[in-house]
Amino acid sequence: MSGADGPRVTPDGPVTLRHRLERIGRWLDNPDVDINTGRWLGVASLVALVSIFMREPILALIAFGIALVALLTRVWWDNSFRGLTYERKVSRERAFHGDTVEVELIATNAKPLPLTRLEVSDQVSSNVEIVNRALDRSDQAHSKLLRTVFSLGMYERVHYTFKVPCRSRGWHRFGPAVGAASDPLGLTTRREELGGVERFLVYPRMVPITELIVPPRQPFGDLKPLQSVVEDPMRMAGVRAYVPGDSPKRIHWRATARTGTIQTRVFEPSASPVAAIFLDTITFSYLWEGQNSALLELAVTTAASLSRQLLENKHQVGLYANAPIPNRSRTVRVPPGRRPGQLTRILEDLAALMPAFGDRIERMVMQEMTRLPWGATVVIVTCRVTEGLQRSLVRLARSSGTQRFVIIAIGPQPTLIPDLRRRIPVYHLSDEEPWDTIEAITMTKQA
């Protein structure tokens, strides 16, 4: 509207203008930006005033250059990470010890603004090694830094391929990452987190075992037991007269009432024998002593190799370990089975478990005894054959007439109590040869 006093400004006009000026001011003096654009423009204005006062065109050009560089650097800062994508690709998600996995790092700049220097720092797990490439230290625990420098033009994609040798079991993780982009003049650097994680799992090492720790059909040698040690409780073959020593749970009460004499159920032999492997991951007696990584890896290698041997011999195999799997469970419990994929499941759990000072292995054996099938062979793989473990296994062997126990002692020669020597076979595996170079597992039976 207009009047005698001149044009009037609507109420919305000054407010909108003020907001725009405030936005420009915040844009120039953003504390998150490394370069203070407002200060540089102030310097350019001061040089321009000096050029006007002194009538020096060169100073005016310098002032214009300073202002132009400041504004272009600020615009570069706002758009440097727009249209930028970073991804990783692995050649396989599962690998065996000794394999080589290829990891591809891909950076794509989908905009008309080039990035002359982009340094990406990938957080990788401590077990990652790269052929012909050194990794830097990281301030995060159990991590290293893989630094990669990209130079990306307009609408350009650049990729690098690295070879990762599989020399240790477990998850090999790549990511998250931090990208640092520098402007063409090197005046400022912008950092942004590049999310996403890629990983692959390396199975534990497996080697042949020269001894047959658990025979396929006759765990008692030439002595044939009175009843089949491996029976299927779901398949009853008939009944027979009660014999002293039969479990009360096997009494057939209906047949007993009909015949007037105590009758016992007879089950058909199981289609395949059962073996339960208990892996003790505690390598020292006290928490403050830490872990012996070499002994632990040798024990894991033994458990994995024994699982493969038993499954190849038509056993049903289960695995139990007193160690946690991060973000999943406090212990490892794989029930006995021989279905397809059983070995894969056992190897994945052995690969993912982390050393920890958990429950004693004898306690875990006692907890699982009631869940194991009749006639199962319990194999304990341990680096500590303590007196407590020996006495617990002797008590279990006395109370259980159908389960058979075997101990695989790894490391120093164990000292055995007399009762254990008579009832439970013990095999010793020396740690003289490292786990990553041993070609075959050869054990000696303790007399």
Whichever domain contains 105, its CATH number is: 2.60.40.10
**Is the confidence at residue 306, as pLDDT, over 90?**
yes
pLDDT for residue 7: 47
Q: Does residue 316 sit within a domain?
A: yes
Tens of pLDDT, residue by residue over 10-43, are 455 555 766 665 666 566 666 666 666 667 677 7
Are residues 389 and 283 part of one domain?
yes
Are residues 441 and 334 part of one domain?
yes
Q: Does residue 44 sit within a domain?
A: yes
d(CA 102, CA 354): 25
The domain boundary residue, chosen from 42, 62, 79? 79
pTM, to two decimals: 0.77
Are residues 90 and 29 part of one domain?
no
State the total domains in the chain.
Answer: 4
Q: Does residue 168 sit within a domain?
A: yes
Are residues 389 and 309 part of one domain?
yes
Are residues 412 and 292 part of one domain?
yes
pLDDT for residue 220: 40
Say if CB 346 and CB 304 are below 8 A apart: yes
> Which of 78-82, 148-152, 353-357 has the lowest average pLDDT?
353-357
Where does the pLDDT of residue 110 fall: very low under 50, low under 70, confident under 90, or very high at 90 and above? very high
**Per-position DSSP letters for 332-374, written without gaps between them:** EEEEEE-STTHHHHHHHHHHH------S-HHHHHHHHHTTSPT
Are residues 408 and 349 part of one domain?
yes
Q: Does residue 212 sit within a domain?
A: no
Tens of pLDDT, residue by residue over 220-258, are 433 344 445 455 565 566 788 887 777 788 888 888 888
Are residues 255 and 123 part of one domain?
no
Are residues 163 and 24 part of one domain?
no
Are residues 175 and 114 part of one domain?
yes
Domain that holds residue 144: 84-202
How far CA 32 is from CA of 22, 38, 69, 198, in Å, comes to 17, 13, 19, 30
The domain boundary residue, chosen from 79, 108, 131? 79
